[in-house]
Structure 1
Amino acid sequence: MALDTWLIYLVAVIGLSLAPGPNGLLALTHGVMYGHRKTLFTISGGVLGFVVLIALAMFGIGALLLASTDLLLVFKWIGGIYLIWLGIRIWRSPAIALQPVGKAVAVSQFGLFRQGALAAITNPKVLLFFGAFLPQFIDPEKSLLSQFMVMAATFAVVEFVVEYLIARVATKLRPWLARSGKRFNQCCGGMFALIGASLPLYNN
């Protein structure tokens, strides 16, 4: 993967990790309930789930490349349109409503890990997103495996750091999201729409 493409991918992944989603909300909630150290197990499970979904998306992209590189171009345009639509949805969505968290129930480390993994893997929208998102950065002339390793590792590190920071400052984030969550959603939605509009043109 070329450095300039990777840098654009890095910025896009940061935006994705910051956007409201089940795993970020889970990290926020568990950070309040169990503390940031225990929430590391929740985060680790979620990151593993995301890597599995990236692998599945890349497997589908590999099948497209075996059929025709022209299909990848078509898929990039379809993916770009989907990202624009997703950006509009996030822009228009209301702020996340966080209910007060009661007394935490004792839970094992594996239980936290399992919750994080299931939150990622059982969300079909995530697989759909990766199917639209990853082709924007694929170079069909280079090894798909090496590109998968770079993309998966970059996403895993960014997602882990962002979710850990969310868990670390969870008690401070709750009132901020209640107060400024709508503007935050608009920023994330605008980023996705911009990515969706620009990347298919950039990669042609």
Structure 2
Amino acid sequence: MIDWIFFVPACFALNLAFGPNNLLAMTHGAKAGVSFAQKAALGRLLIFVPMITVSALGLGIILTASALIFGIVKAFGAAYLIWLGISLWRHARTMEVTQISAHPAHLGRAFRSEAMVALSNPKAILIFAAFFPQFVVPENYWHSYAMLGAAFLLMEAAAIFAYALAGRLASKFASGRLQTMQRISGVTMCIFGILLLVSPPPSRS
């Protein structure tokens, strides 16, 4: 039987951890509303499904077993986060608060950003490969892994809503500083990229 009493709070803490995807949800919520941010974040959730499946198959071990593969994935993820951060900064220069409602944000672009950020960060699959097995029931492996994956996705959706709502509320109370908020998001995204680039590979012990 899955130890839900320990899994749920520990997993939800991971879902709520401040990272690139949650920053993106907050940014989308501030610019275009909670509903928009949730729709865009479907890109993240759809990417997580095959990542969980890959981890269940044991292929997630490849990232921890091969420093070269981990380094390649990490470099790609870091480069994308830095590029995204620079894009957020540049777009803030010409963004006016009145333009937010007049020119709705592009959902397809936001969807792809969520998916790419999720896919380009090797730490996500490492969470599935290292955290989930602690709660898997060996005699009922596939069913328990599927249940853990479903629970993770539900809590991830709750975290998306929380960050999107926080972004929306922040934009309402500081609508005149929306450009500053976007610039801060851009700088933070670049910082995430740099930290990912210099982070050491996971332990193979």
Kindly indicate whether the alpha-carbon contact (under 8 Å) linking 1:29 and 1:170 is maintained by their aligned counterparts in 2: yes
Q: Distance in 2 between matches of 1:12 and 1:52?
A: 22
Q: Percent identity?
A: 31
Distance 1:106 1:173, change over 3 A: closer
- In the alignment, what sits opposite 2:51? 53
Q: 1:137 to 1:7 in 2, by over 3 A?
A: same
Matches within 5 A, 1:31-110: 31-60=29-58, 102-103=95-96, 106-110=104-108
Deviation, 1:61, is 7.3
* Aligned equivalents of 1:147, 1:46: Cα separation in 2: 22
Code of the residue aligned with 1:156 in structure 2: it is L
Match of 1:158 in 2: 155
Q: Distance in 2 between matches of 1:122 and 1:19?
A: 17
Q: Name the amino acid aligned to 1:46.
A: R
Residue 36 (structure 2) pairs with residue 30 (structure 1) = no
**1:168, distance to aligned residue in structure 2 (A):** 1.5
Tell me what 2:144 maps to.
147
Number of positions where the alignment pairs a residue of Structure 1 with one of Structure 2: 141
The alignment's TM-score, normalised by the length of structure 1, stands at 0.59
Q: Does structure 1 retain, via aligned residues, the 8 Å contact 2:54–2:60?
A: no
Distance 1:171 1:35, change over 3 A: closer
Aligned mates of 1:172, 1:106 — CA distance in 2: 18
Measure how far apart 1:172 and its partner are. 4.2
Specify the alignment match of 1:14 in structure 2: 12
- The one-letter amino acid paired with 2:18 is P
**Residue aligning to 1:121:** 119
Separation of aligned partners in 2, 1:61 and 1:133: 14
SS in 1 for 2:139: coil
Q: Which moved more, 1:5-14 or 1:166-175?
A: 166-175
Counterpart position of 1:131: 129
1:60 counterpart SS class: coil
Per-residue CA deviation, residues 178-201 of structure 1 (Å, 9 max, x unaligned), is: 9xxxxxxxxxxxxxxxxxxxxxxx
- Structure 1, unpaired ranges of 5+: 64-74, 76-97, 179-204
In the alignment, structure 1 residue 167 sits paired with structure 2 residue 167: no
Q: Scaled by the length of structure 2, what TM-score is found?
A: 0.59
